[in-house]
Amino acid sequence: MTALEREIMNKFQQLDSSSQQRLLSNLQLSAMTKAAQEKNEATPMPLDEWLEWADTFREKMDRKYGARILVSSSELLAEIREERLNDLLRNR
């Protein structure tokens, strides 16, 4: 343990119990935040690599689920509206 670590420990032990708990909570939160930031700071995938991955993934889904069916967002909304309307009319 370094001199600085010993000094921090001595100061920590001088705190009352609630202050120690509050400090520990803050330190844990700080450590978790730092770990999450480091995880998110990974090098982004180059575009050509991502496009290759996307093509491979799409081919895999095509093999698994059959021919590609592309659905627009407006079609999805229309379907949701229709289902909701059917639910409302059924409950009358």
Tens-digit pLDDT profile for residues 38-66: 777 667 778 998 899 888 888 887 887 77
**Confidence (pLDDT) at 42:** 65
Tens-digit pLDDT profile for residues 8-37: 999 999 999 988 888 888 888 888 888 777
DSSP letters spanning 14-31: HS-HHHHHHHHHHHHHHH
- CA–CA gap between residue 39 and residue 25 (Å, rounded): 21
**Confidence (pLDDT) at 33:** 82
Whether the per-residue pLDDT at 3 is higher than 90: the answer is: yes
